[in-house]
Copies of this chain bind each other. A is one copy, B any other.
Amino acid sequence: MWDRIIECVPNISEGRRREVAEAIAHAADGPGCKVIDLSMDPDHNRSVITIVGKPSSLADGVLALAKKASELIDLNVHRGEHPRMGAVDVIPFIPVRGVTMADCVDLSRRVGERIAEDLGIPVYLYEESATSDERRNLATIRKGEFEGFPEKIAKPQWRPDFGSAKIHPTAGVVAVGAREFLIAYNIDLATSDLSVAKEIARAVRYSSGGLRYVKALGFPLAEKGIVQVSMNLTNFKKTPILRVFELVKREAEHRGVMVIGSEIVGTVPRAALYDVARMALQVRGFSDNLILEERIEDAHAEDALSEDR
């Protein structure tokens, strides 16, 4: 039915009032545009909303969501551990099927322009949509947060990509962009020693010498009495999950610690799991054509075609 699919994962600055988060998330629902996940985090007072849709339908859905967030969230009274600068804090678009990264960049720019014009919220384009290298990194844009932005936005080098150099009084500013699919992946270690998780996080993450598309932190899981390496895999095509798992496991072994298990948070694309199977089994000549269900879908399509005639 949907030949072309883009995913959008808006992060909003509300993670405690369920009815508010749900009202904002489902403002995006409409024909060709569906909310498939809402993850609320009370500590961070922040929610992650996952939307999928046809490129032609997604812009209206995301705009409706941003409008609802600007009506229901006032950043002047918002408190939470996670850095934030807007009611809708960040809106990334991710290519899923039948679309390119360039399509997502285009869409992010159109949505950004409309957010500025229709809602009066200044917009920064980030990651693949960024208009300068300085604006690729979300953390750099967000530095100073909501409270510091009235001053920051007035500086010439921080003039927004869309909208005036003046923050929205309650909704702040928003970053809109395009990026690859992000896999949130955690590995649990059979130790209560937090320093082991932190050392391994440092060993595997890009920022301190590790794998190019890995962000990692060490956390304690107090209830279970163990520790966890918590990761974002920002490009599973270039840094595959199994390679990350194997590296963490070896680093743990070097410290006399076993891996208890791992956890995928949110969703993972099929292609990433096929890659794990292909690598673990050393399969030569792997292609989607080997997969029974892919063949069946082709047969479906052929059958539907013959019914149309």
Contact = CB atoms under 8 A, between A and B. Distances in A.
B296 A36 contact: yes
B262 A295 contact: no
Contacts of A286: 264
A31 B285 contact: no
Given A5-B296, A181-B292, A245-B281, 15 more contacts: A2-B296, A2-B303, A31-B303, A32-B303, A34-B302, A36-B296, A188-B284, A262-B282, A263-B285, A264-B286, A264-B290, A268-B291, A270-B291, A270-B293, A280-B280
Interface of A: prevailing SS: mixed
Nearest to A54: B303
The 7 A-B pairs of least Cβ separation, nearest first, read A34-B299, A276-B277, A280-B280, A273-B277, A267-B292, A261-B284, A36-B295
Nearest to A287: B264
Nearest to A306: B31
State which size class the interface on A falls in.
35 or more
B285 A268 contact: no
Contacts of A268: 290-292
A290 B267 contact: yes
Contact of A303 (B1, B50, B293): B1
A50 to B, nearest CB: 8
Contacts of A188: 284
The residue among A181, A292, A304 with the most chain B CB atoms within 10 A of its own CB is A292
A208 to B, nearest CB: 23
Interface in A78-103: 96-97
Given A245-B280, A285-B263, A291 B304 contact: no
7 contacts: A2-B296, A5-B296, A188-B284, A262-B282, A273-B274, A274-B277, A277-B280
